[in-house]
Amino acid sequence: MADRTSLQQLHETYDCVVIGAGNGGLGAAAQLAAKGATVLLLEQHNLPGGFASSFVRGRFEFEAALHQFCDVGPPTAKGSVRTFLEDDLGVTLDWVEIPEAYRLILTDPGADLDVTMPYGIQDFVDAIAREVPGSRESVTKYVNLCQEVVEALEYLGQSKGNPDRSVLTKKYANFLKTCPYTMDEVADALRIPERARKILHAQWSYLGPPTSRLNFTVYGAMLYKFLITSAYIPRQRSHEFALALDARIRELGGDIAYNTRVEKILVKACPERSRGNGKVVGVVTSKGDQIQTGHVISNASPTLVYNDLISPRTHVPEIALRACNARVNGLSGFVVYMGLDASPEELGLNEYSYFVYANMDTDELYDSLKTLDAPKMQATLCLNNALPDCSPPGTSIVSITTLYRPEAWRDVRPQDYVKVKNRIANDLIAHLEQATGAPIREHIEELEVATPQTFARYTGSYQGVIYGYEPEPWDSLIPRLMSIQDDRHFDGLEFCGGYAFRCHGYSSSFKSGQTVALMTWKDLIEKGEIEQ
């Protein structure tokens, strides 16, 4: 059966155009199509997924970026991601649960910390209490606080932007009171012993800024969800996730055009709106398509949209540019993908997820991301420990991920590029070998290294950034949520993905697509542009 996308003939007009088929764009396009809107999803690469992708080298298929999908949950206790996929969109995936939470290894002399953490609140607290006697009370308090954060966020979600203030102050006072603070400030207030704090904060690198700047709310919510719903990955890598959504969008009547970059978002002044700068009227693509639409959902960042895409440029308000400059651009990634000709048992790698840090001075670790020396931190996966059959018998897939401030790569010349990335990869492999004792080097059958340039190449993200704006307390989830109206500079223009209000991470960016799609749907109905 030939659907519209296979015929490749685009309409002239759509209810909504979605820019970018990353997690957010896929979620947004699917949700709008499921509602019945006419939607066109445009993607500059020839594949959907953005960072949610995979690639083949020799007899190995590597996961490009996904470590863990949060908030999926088992079929019997669905998390919001599974609910969105299965119940709202009708998409089922072959999800595989990750066996344990994580292993944290600190490698500085004297650091003396190597713990493997379980899921489940009680088991998690017990494990820390065993490792750090006397910490049970404060850690329990911390986890309870995280629970309150998650419940408060759920309440906010249900109240659809109009929460009852008295409910918030009575039921969720601790949530409100910790919102303005960093992870360090909250841990200090709860008097969490230093060593317990290291274990609790291990996953900070999934969000980026050091714990002295990273907002507690967003971390606490992530940690709690992770402990109660564990984490999942799609069996056939995140490419399966992207393709399932691609297929569903087309089934629901949506159109998708790949290899098609949006070059302009056309806006027009609308005098009827008192403080507006105008409204969206269409998009122009690199292939010369001129599409009329009153709604654009952008998976591309505000930074790119306000600087490069809005046309005419004179309509871009100064405040939008100020916001781009005020917000802290996130980190880019660096990944060493390895297909090894030894099994995980032979290598002695028994866990799926390893955080290998020199220490837990996250300011020092973050500073190490600013130069081209090898960062003192890595988050390493052994995929076979979640997916035993992901590579042929007697082999394994190991990937080392670290982060960079993209500016560190500013002066790299083409002729030095491979040397630079190989030197860093070499040091990261050495760090992993030192931490785990695994004899990695002698077993490398396939090796690929991704740099900020690689992430830029495949997604066009500004400076190859893989995270969105850094969630410091002033610009984290809650202030972003409460500023949605202020941040909307054009009628009909919304943002999803890692740069959007939910902050970054697979589940957050994916779910942000649903939220803005529903907002757009509501707008379409209210304006009478569509009949329900």
Partner 1 sequence: MKVNVKGHIRDLLAFKRLVPRRKKRIARAPAEPLGPDPVNQLARRLHPDRQHLIIAQTRDETRTTRTFKLVADPDSDADRLAYFRAGQYLSLNVAVDGVQITRPYSISSAPFEALGAGGFYEITVRRAQDGFLTPHMWDSWAVGTQIESSGPCGFFYHEPLRDTGQIVGLAGGSGITPFRSMAREITYGELDAHLLLIYGSSDEDDVVFYDEFKELEQTAPDKIQVVHVLSCAEVSLEGCEQGFITADVIEKYADVDNSSFFICGPQAMYKFVEEELAAFDLPARRIRREVFGELKNVTQSPGFPQQLADETFRLKVHIGGVTTQVPAKATETILVAMERANLAPPSQCRSGECGFCRSRLVSGDVYVSPESDGRRAADKQFGYIHPCSSYPITDLEISVPRER
> Which 128-187 residues touch partner 1, going by CB under 8 A?
141, 144-145, 148, 169, 173-174, 176-181, 185-186
Give the footprint of partner 1 on residues 214-253 (CB under 8 A). Answer: 234, 236-237, 239-240, 242-244, 246-247
The yes or no reply on residue 434 touching partner 1 (CB under 8 A) is no
| Least distance between partner 1 and beta carbon 307 (Å) | 4
Complex with partner 1: residue 7 or 77, whichever CB lies closer: 7
x/- track of binding to partner 1 for residues 59-78 (CB under 8 A)? x-x-----------------
Give the footprint of partner 1 on residues 267-326 (CB under 8 A). Answer: 286-287, 303, 307-308, 318-319, 321-326
x/- track of binding to partner 1 for residues 382-421 (CB under 8 A)? ------------------------x--xxxx-xx-xx---
Query: DSSP labels for 329-387?
Result: ---EEEEEEEEESS-HHHHT---SEEEEES-S-HHHHHHTTSSSSPPSEEEEEEGGGT-
Q: Which residues contact 10 (CB under 8 A, 6 or more apart)?
A: 40, 255, 257, 289, 291
Which of 43, 27, 515, 26 is closest to 283 using CA atoms? 43
| Least distance between partner 1 and beta carbon 80 (Å) | 23
Q: Are strands 69-70 and 231-234 parallel, antiparallel or unpaired?
A: antiparallel
Give the footprint of partner 1 on residues 325-384 (CB under 8 A). Answer: 325-327, 332, 341
Complex with partner 1: residue 27 or 339, whichever CB lies closer: 339
Compute the distance between CA of residue 261 and CA of residue 329 in angstroms, rounded to an integer.
22
Complex with partner 1: residue 6 or 532, whichever CB lies closer: 6
Q: Which amino acid is at 130?
A: R
| Least distance between partner 1 and beta carbon 529 (Å) | 26
| Helix H or strand E segment including 400 | strand 396-404
Give the footprint of partner 1 on residues 446-465 (CB under 8 A). Answer: 446-447, 452-454, 456-457, 460, 462-464
Tell which one of 258, 433, 488, 523 touches partner 1 (CB under 8 A). Answer: 258
Pair of tokens at residue 456: 């830029």
The radius of gyration computed from the CA coordinates of the chain, to the nearest angstrom, equals 23
Query: DSSP labels for 198-258?
Result: HHHTGGGGGT-S-TTTSBHHHHHHHHHHHHHH-EEEETTHHHHHHHHHHHHHHHTT-EEES
| Least distance between partner 1 and beta carbon 283 (Å) | 17
Give the footprint of partner 1 on residues 25-44 (CB under 8 A). Answer: 44
Residue 38: phi and psi, rounded to 5, are -85, 125
| Least distance between partner 1 and beta carbon 115 (Å) | 25
| Least distance between partner 1 and beta carbon 248 (Å) | 11
Complex with partner 1: residue 177 or 527, whichever CB lies closer: 177
Complex with partner 1: residue 36 or 479, whichever CB lies closer: 479
Dihedral of the alpha carbons of 50, 230, 186, 367, in degrees to the nearest 10? -40
| Least distance between partner 1 and beta carbon 504 (Å) | 18
Which of 278, 305, 307, 291 is closest to 41 using CA atoms? 291
Q: Could you tell me the end-to-end alpha-carbon distance of the chain, in angstroms, rounded to an integer?
A: 28
